[in-house]
């Protein structure tokens, strides 16, 4: 484990010490939510577009970390932090990168850097799999390839490592130069080039040029010559000195791939290098896996590492789990499934994800022996036990002989089994209920068998929710907001069909200011599940206001009847203090809310009572998504600000003003006031062309049966589906009871199977529907996309002459939600 004193760090980053310089640092943190209690760590208070680490110094201190690298000394002037130590610099991020670059310079081992639009993580993980028995390897955790992720990765290097593999990703010019100074790779693999992050580059050529900066001082660059744009940029004088190993299928290259033979579940790849032929086989058939595997092969032949045993390893290349999945379990449990790999850093990431889940007090980890060749075995297991104990996990279940061997280091509830079969055989005797369970295992332990036993099974149709995409969308809208503007996020209607608690918990973790629900029972459910941030109820039932008080839910007040009822109830229960209310103004929506000309009466009533306090005044825009209504929208905003002025003059305290919805945030930035409300935008819907929002939901199912239907036969109810030729019809286990609109019947809509659109045929039934697969390769069990990134929900909404809200909120609760974090 690395260690630097505060004094050494200050000297490396040219900082000034406030406090002691003798403290030894063994952990680095850049996110206050990922701080591990009891560690001798250093927190870097990084300022970014949407955050400022200085705001969380007190919180980090409370977790027991007392060492900070900061740039804003004013942020600590009013803080009472005994024994805290500070290193003061001009720019915290640059200092963090400088420290990582220094740390890298102390190692003389070969380093491989991986760049490209896609495939970086898979290439890195496959190289680790292929080489781990031969060399002690350090690699980037997960997809840590950013301006912060790369330094975090490099700072994990220690004296046991004999080789390193790091990813590097950029989203704008000049970033790769910084990463190159940190990674200093000997070899660079350029995986491929595509349109990811293209918005910040003038051309694809410019993006290739910027990515190639990682190779500017390297000894070897490996790339696929079929990407003409990479070959073109490499012809520039500044890259002429780089030694290149190219491979190609279509283009001339140093290594010619002569044949790709795709079989049922495997692919044989044949090629020629320096007049010598070679071949190897991989257990995948898709184009991306073939490309990634060839890159790995090229690195190994360049390093003289290819052998018969190595070729055998290619045949067993594992699928790379790119995400943590959150699923409903049996006995009122939730399962976090990370059952494909296990090493020290991925364990830390998985435990951090486990800590974010607040719906259960009890937390259990089921973990296998791990794959870690770079640190002495006993040290690894002792550190894992330490991490689990520091994170106060209630129950630990270990599987494998190594955990058995070192279990003396664990002080807590521990069950140990020699293998997966032994655990499964004893499962009926283990009480598992009302808890969240992390399943974390190396692939050879087949932990998917455990997750299958613990997961609650529903039918084949699932709605996948990408939590990483939700965070990306949140950050996109935050990037449009002015400093100090708050954000309220709508999680009503089961979070637009995406699942209430899971989304609310994610938003709480990412520090939104308010949540909003439609009805009281939604808010109560969130409170019972551990959500503590302020929650506004937009349609409060008057007879349930006492329940709102019990669960600290704040009501929207939209008429005098509601206002009087709230005041009367507070007096009846003898509420102490002033209860927060949110006053709704109708500025043109003609839905709920006080009319502007009735505000004087409202203010008189509010001023008469001391049991209530106006937390916010707000209104709702009727046409902010449509330019033809911009004048109307401007009038709404003007009316609202005039009403707010009246409130400001009448009240002797401040309150929050908000009128902008998702479309308003994008189109009326001048009206952000004190807070904005984010709704459908969080879920990937934007009114702007080219917006950086991401799809978060994929509704998918699988083919239950394929039938041969003869010419002129009919399909489905009322014989609506008529075939005009001998056809193959696939039956899917999803219908209108699941939220699939009958309006898509009879060829109006389509699904995607194996990358191809195929139409619905016949009427959509309650629990099933049929599609025509005559013209494509399709088999029973194949995955079917109802909507997702490949088939946008906006496209389906347009076909149905409706809006995405209706489709999302219409997905039945019987459809299983699977949440994942990339």
Domain containing 561 equals 464-490+511-683
What pLDDT, on a 0 to 100 scale, did the predictor assign at position 240?
A: 92
Q: Is residue 496 part of a domain?
A: no
Q: What is the pLDDT of residues 644-653, one digit of tens each?
A: 999 999 999 9
CA–CA dist 730, 714 (Å, integer):
14
Report, as an integer, the average pLDDT of 118-147: 91
Report the interhelical angle of 500-509 vs 467-479 (nearest 10°). Answer: 50
Which one of 650, 683, 716 terminates a domain? 683
Q: Is residue 504 part of a domain?
A: no
- The helix (run of H) or strand (run of E) holding residue 105 is helix 92-105
743 pLDDT more than 50? yes
What pLDDT, on a 0 to 100 scale, did the predictor assign at position 374?
A: 61
Residues near 568 by Cβ (< 8 Å), separated by ≥ 6?
none
Tokens of 12: 């490396």
Q: Which residue out of 66, 207, 492, 700 is catalytically annotated? A: 492
Report the interhelical angle of 175-183 vs 92-105 (nearest 10°). Answer: 30
* Residue 112 and residue 127 in contact, taking contact as beta carbons nearer than 8 Å: yes
Q: Is residue 322 part of a domain?
A: no
Same domain, 91 and 132: no
Give the count of beta carbons closer than 10 Å to the beta carbon of residue 165.
25
Q: What is the pLDDT of residues 585-629, one digit of tens each?
A: 999 999 999 999 999 999 999 999 999 999 999 999 999 999 999
Same domain, 88 and 172: no
Q: Is residue 546 part of a domain?
A: yes
* Residue 598 and residue 660 in contact, taking contact as beta carbons nearer than 8 Å: no
Domains: count for the chain: 5
CATH of residue 90's domain is 3.40.1390.10
Q: What is the DSSP string of 108-145?
A: -S-EEEEESSS-HHHHHHHHHHHHTTTS-EEE-STT--
With cut-offs at 50, 70 and 90, classify the pLDDT of residue 274: confident
39 pLDDT more than 60? yes
The share of the chain scoring above pLDDT 90, in percent, equals 68
381 pLDDT more than 50? yes
813 pLDDT more than 90? no
3-state secondary structure 9-58: HHHHHCCEEECCCCCEECEEECCHHHCCCCCCEEEECCECCCCEHHHHHH
- The helix (run of H) or strand (run of E) holding residue 617 is strand 612-619
Q: Is residue 691 part of a domain?
A: no
HSE value, Cβ hemisphere, 13 Å, CA-based, for 331: 11
Q: Is 461 helix (H, G, I), strand (E, B) or coil?
A: coil
Is 492 catalytic? The answer is yes
Q: What is the pLDDT of residues 416-439, one digit of tens each?
A: 999 999 999 998 888 888 899 999
Same domain, 707 and 771: yes
- Cross-sheet strand order for the sheet of 816-821: 413-417, 395-399, 363-368, 436-440, 333-338, 324-329, 816-821, 462-466, 697-702, 783-787, 750-753, 756-759
What pLDDT, on a 0 to 100 scale, did the predictor assign at position 125?
A: 92
Q: Is residue 755 part of a domain?
A: yes
Report, as an integer, the average pLDDT of 268-283: 93
Report, as an integer, the average pLDDT of 716-745: 93
* Residue 540 and residue 514 in contact, taking contact as beta carbons nearer than 8 Å: no
Tokens of 350: 């998985």
What pLDDT, on a 0 to 100 scale, did the predictor assign at position 348?
A: 84
Same domain, 432 and 517: no
What pLDDT, on a 0 to 100 scale, did the predictor assign at position 529?
A: 83
Same domain, 162 and 269: yes
Same domain, 545 and 647: yes
Q: Is residue 668 part of a domain?
A: yes
Tokens of 133: 């028995």
Rg from Cα positions in the chain: 29
Same domain, 704 and 652: no
Q: Indicate the burial class of 725 (C-beta count within 10 angstroms; 0-12, 13-18, 19 or more).
A: exposed
Same domain, 397 and 485: no
Tokens of 104: 């890298």
796 pLDDT more than 50? yes
* Residue 118 and residue 102 in contact, taking contact as beta carbons nearer than 8 Å: no
**Residue corresponding to tokens 């299928």:** 249
Q: What is the pLDDT of residues 203-254, one digit of tens each?
A: 999 999 999 999 999 999 999 999 999 999 999 999 999 999 999 999 999 9
| N-terminal to C-terminal alpha carbon distance within the chain | 27
Q: Is 728 helix (H, G, I), strand (E, B) or coil?
A: strand
Q: How far is CA 65 from CA 23, 327, 337, in A?
A: 12, 33, 30
Q: Which residue out of 16, 712, 717, 720 is catalytically annotated? A: 717
Q: What is the DSSP string of 323-373?
A: -EEEEEETTTEEEEEETT---HHHHHHHHHHHHH--S-S-EEEEEE-----
CATH of residue 424's domain is 3.90.190.20
Residues near 275 by Cβ (< 8 Å), separated by ≥ 6?
none
Tokens of 496: 């637009």
With cut-offs at 50, 70 and 90, classify the pLDDT of residue 345: confident
* Residue 667 and residue 687 in contact, taking contact as beta carbons nearer than 8 Å: yes
* Nearest 10 degrees: Cα torsion 382, 383, 387, 388: -30
Tokens of 145: 């390839």
CATH of residue 799's domain is 2.40.37.10
Q: What is the pLDDT of residues 298-335, one digit of tens each?
A: 999 998 877 888 889 999 998 877 677 888 888 888 88
* Residue 675 and residue 654 in contact, taking contact as beta carbons nearer than 8 Å: no
CA–CA dist 172, 9 (Å, integer):
29
Q: What is the DSSP string of 224-292?
A: ETT-HHHHHHHTSGGGTTS-EEEEESSS--SEEEEEEEE-SS-EEEEEEETTEEEEEEES--SHHHHHH
Report, as an integer, the average pLDDT of 570-579: 93
Least confident of 158-167, 192-201, 650-659: 192-201
Report, as an integer, the average pLDDT of 343-364: 84
φ/ψ of residue 221, rounded to 5: -120, 130
What pLDDT, on a 0 to 100 scale, did the predictor assign at position 498?
A: 52
What pLDDT, on a 0 to 100 scale, did the predictor assign at position 494?
A: 52
Which one of 42, 65, 96 terminates a domain? 96
Same domain, 288 and 374: no
Q: Is residue 102 part of a domain?
A: no
Q: Indicate the burial class of 371 (C-beta count within 10 angstroms; 0-12, 13-18, 19 or more).
A: middle
Is 717 catalytic? The answer is yes
Of 337 and 217, more confident: 217
What pLDDT, on a 0 to 100 scale, did the predictor assign at position 344?
A: 79
Same domain, 449 and 596: no
CA–CA dist 322, 535 (Å, integer):
33
CATH of residue 609's domain is 3.20.20.10
What pLDDT, on a 0 to 100 scale, did the predictor assign at position 497?
A: 47
Q: What is the pLDDT of residues 689-714, one digit of tens each?
A: 777 899 999 999 999 999 999 998 99
Same domain, 754 and 645: no
Most distant CA atoms of the chain, gap in Å? 94
Same domain, 617 and 539: yes
């Amino acid at each position: 484990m690395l260690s630097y004193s505060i004094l050494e760090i200050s000297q490396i980053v040219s900082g000034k010490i406030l406090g002691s310089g003798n403290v030894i640092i063994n952990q680095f943190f850049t996110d206050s939510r990922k701080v591990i209690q009891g560690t001798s760590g250093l927190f870097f208070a990084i300022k970014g577009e949407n955050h400022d680490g200085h705001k969380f110094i007190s919180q980090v201190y409370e977790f027991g970390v007392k060492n900070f690298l900061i740039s804003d000394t004013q942020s600590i002037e009013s803080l009472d932090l005994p024994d805290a130590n500070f290193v003061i610099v001009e720019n915290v991020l640059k200092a963090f990168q400088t420290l990582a670059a220094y740390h890298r310079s102390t190692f003389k081992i070969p380093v491989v850097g991986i760049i490209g639009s896609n495939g970086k993580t898979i290439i890195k993980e496959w190289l680790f799999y292929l080489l781990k028995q031969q060399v002690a390897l350090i690699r980037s955790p997960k997809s840590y390839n950013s301006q912060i992720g790369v330094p975090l990765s490099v700072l994990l290097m220690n004296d046991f490592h004999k080789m390193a593999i790091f990813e590097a990703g950029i989203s704008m010019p000049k970033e790769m130069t910084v990463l190159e100074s940190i990674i200093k790779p000997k070899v660079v693999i350029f995986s491929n080039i595509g349109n990811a992050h293209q918005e910040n580059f003038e051309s694809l050529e410019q993006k290739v040029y910027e990515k190639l900066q990682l190779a500017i001082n390297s000894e070897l660059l490996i790339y696929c010559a079929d990407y003409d744009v990479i070959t073109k940029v490499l012809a520039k004088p500044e890259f002429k000195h780089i030694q290149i190993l190219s491979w190609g299928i279509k283009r001339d290259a140093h290594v010619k791939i002569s044949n790709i033979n795709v079989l049922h579940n495997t692919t044989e790849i044949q090629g020629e290098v320096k007049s010598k032929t070679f071949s190897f086989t991989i257990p995948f058939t898709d184009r991306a896996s073939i490309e990634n595997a060839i890159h790995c092969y090229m690195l190994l032949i360049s390093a003289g590492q290819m052998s018969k045993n190595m070729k055998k390893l290619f045949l067993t290349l594992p699928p790379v789990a790119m995400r943590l999945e959150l699923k409903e379990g049996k006995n009122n449990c939730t399962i976090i499934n990370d059952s494909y790999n296990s090493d020290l850093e991925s364990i830390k990431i998985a435990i951090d994800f486990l800590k974010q889940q607040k719906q259960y007090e009890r937390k259990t980890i089921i973990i296998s022996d791990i794959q870690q060749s770079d640190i002495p075995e006993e040290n690894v297991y002792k550190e894992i036990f330490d991490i689990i104990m520091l994170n106060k996990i209630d129950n630990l279940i270990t599987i494998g002989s190594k955990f058995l061997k070192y279990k003396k280091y664990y002080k807590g509830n521990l069950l140990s089994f020699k293998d997966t079969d032994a655990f499964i055989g004893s499962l009926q005797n283990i009480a598992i209920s009302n808890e969240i369970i992390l399943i974390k295992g190396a692939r050879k332990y087949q932990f998917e068998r455990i997750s299958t036993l613990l997961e609650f099974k529903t039918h084949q149709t699932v709605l996948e929710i990408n939590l990483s995409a939700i965070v990306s969308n949140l950050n996109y809208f935050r990037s449009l907001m002015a400093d100090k503007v708050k954000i309220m996020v709508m999680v009503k209607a089961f979070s637009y069909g995406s699942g209430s608690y899971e989304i609310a918990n994610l938003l709480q973790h990412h520090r939104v200011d308010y949540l909003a629900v439609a009805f009281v029972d939604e808010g109560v459910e969130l409170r019972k599940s551990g959500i503590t941030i302020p929650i506004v109820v937009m349609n409060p039932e008057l007879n349930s206001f006492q329940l709102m008080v019990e669960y600290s839910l704040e009501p929207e007040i939209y008429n005098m009847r509601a206002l009087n009822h709230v005041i009367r109830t507070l007096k009846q229960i003898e509420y102490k203090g002033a209860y927060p209310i949110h006053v709704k103004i109708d500025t043109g929506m003609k839905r709920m809310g006080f009319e502007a000309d009735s505000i004087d009466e409202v203010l008189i009533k509010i001023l008469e009572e001391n049991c209530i306090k106006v937390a916010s005044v707000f209104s709702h825009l009727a046409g902010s998504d449509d330019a033809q209504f911009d004048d109307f929208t401007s009038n709404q905003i003007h009316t609202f600000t005039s009403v707010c002025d009246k409130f400001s003059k009448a009240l002797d305290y401040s309150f929050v003003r908000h009128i902008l919805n998702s479309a308003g945030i994008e189109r009326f930035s001048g009206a952000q006031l004190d807070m904005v409300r984010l709704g459908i935008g969080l879920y990937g819907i934007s009114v702007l062309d080219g917006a950086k929002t991401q799809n978060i939901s994929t509704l998918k199912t699988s083919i239950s049966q394929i039938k041969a239907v003869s010419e002129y036969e009919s399909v489905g109810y009322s014989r609506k589906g008529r075939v005009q030729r001998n056809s193959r019809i696939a039956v899917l286990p999803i219908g209108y009871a699941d939220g699939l609109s009958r309006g898509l019947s009879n060829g109006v809509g389509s699904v995607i199977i194996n990358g191809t659109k195929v139409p619905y045929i016949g009427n959509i039934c309650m629990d099933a529907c049929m599609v025509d697969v005559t013209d494509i390769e399709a088999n029973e069990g194949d995955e079917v996309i109802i909507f997702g990134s490949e088939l946008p929900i906006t496209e389906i909404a347009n076909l149905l002459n409706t809006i995405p809200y209706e489709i999302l909120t219409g997905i039945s609760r019987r459809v299983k939600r699977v949440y994942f974090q990339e």
